[in-house]
Chain A
Amino acid sequence: AQSVTQLGSHVSVSEGALVLLRCNYSSSVPPYLFWYVQYPNQGLQLLLKYTSAATLVKGINGFEAEFKKSETSFHLTKPSAHMSDAAEYFCAVSNQGYSSASKIIFGSGTRLSIRP
């Protein structure tokens, strides 16, 4: 079975500071991993995804994540936080990529707050 664990339900950083949101995964097969962002009362927007190609994945809005198999981690980072980054972030794993049997399992989410 697949699962993801997001460490820290709430992270607060100052504007301009480094953003680090942690995600560890568990998977019995090579995983596909995703980071999504959700603004209040909205759906989810894909930030980036890992699909077994390059281990360092660059996404939208300056975010990136590195797949580390040895640590079973897929942490999300951004060098300099912006006020508009305040939102809920979800790490997710897909059990079989894009096959007909695959589905996405979400972590519990991390709320990112940005201090002026």
Chain B
Amino acid sequence: GAVVSQHPSWVICKSGTSVKIECRSLDFQATTMFWYRQFPKQSLMLMATSNEGSKATYEQGVEKDKFLINHASLTLSTLTVTSAHPEDSSFYICSARAEGIYGYTFGSGTRLTVV
């Protein structure tokens, strides 16, 4: 079945630094990937939709200069949190969509802690 690998699973970084999170579709081509943010005990909030070879579409209220998304290939999308601050600490989850029976597949998430 469709598998999405997300890396790293957790990361701690200093305030002011940048962190990159990778999302890979391992056995299928994902023309579209999604990035979500989840606060403790809350639902998933869609941050942006990433289409291969084009600019990401950000949801209202999401800072595109802070959360840089790159989808350079059909199997890889990256989310870079630039100049991270403690309020950026959260659980970030990616999802990839394949045509046909697979539907939407989610990565295992990345726990980001900014200190």
Distance between B39 CB and nearest chain A CB, rounded to angstroms: 11
Q: For chain A, residues 100 to 116, give those with C-beta under 8 angstroms from any C-beta of chain B.
A: 100, 102-109, 111
Q: Check B97–A98 contact: CB distance below 8 A.
A: yes
Q: How distant is the Cα of A90 from the Cα of B46 in the complex, in angstroms?
A: 14
CB-based contact B111/A41 at 8 Å:
yes
Complex CA distance for A110 and B32, rounded to whole angstroms: 28
Whole-angstrom distance from the CB of A31 to the nearest CB of chain B? 14
Contact of B109 among A36, A42, A109 (CB under 8 A): A42
Knowing A98-B97, A100-B32, A103-B34, the reply to whether A43 touches B107 (Cβ < 8 A) is yes
Is there an interface contact between A103 and B44, defined as CB atoms closer than 8 Å? Answer: no
Interface 1/0s, chain B 76-103, versus A by CB < 8 A? 0000000000000001010101011001
Q: By DSSP majority rule, is chain B's interface helix, strand, loop, or mixed? A: strand
If the complex has contacts A36-B106, A100-B32, are A41 and B43 also in contact, measured as CB distance less than 8 A? Answer: no
B42 touches A98 (CB 8 A): no
Given that A43-B107, A43-B109, A46-B103 are known contacts, is A109 also in contact with B32, CB under 8 Å in the complex? no
Structural contact, A107 and B43, CB atoms closer than 8 A:
yes
| Those 9 A-B pairs whose CB atoms lie nearest each other, nearest first | A44-B106, A43-B108, A43-B106, A43-B109, A106-B44, A108-B43, A106-B43, A109-B43, A43-B107
| Interface positions of A (Cβ within 8 A of B) | 34, 36, 41-46, 49, 90, 94, 98, 100, 102-109, 111
Can you report 25 residue pairs joining A to B where beta carbons are below 8 Å apart? Answer: A36-B106, A41-B91, A41-B109, A41-B111, A43-B106, A44-B44, A44-B93, A44-B95, A44-B106, A46-B103, A46-B105, A46-B106, A49-B103, A90-B44, A94-B104, A98-B99, A100-B31, A100-B51, A103-B46, A104-B34, A104-B95, A104-B104, A106-B43, A106-B44, A111-B41
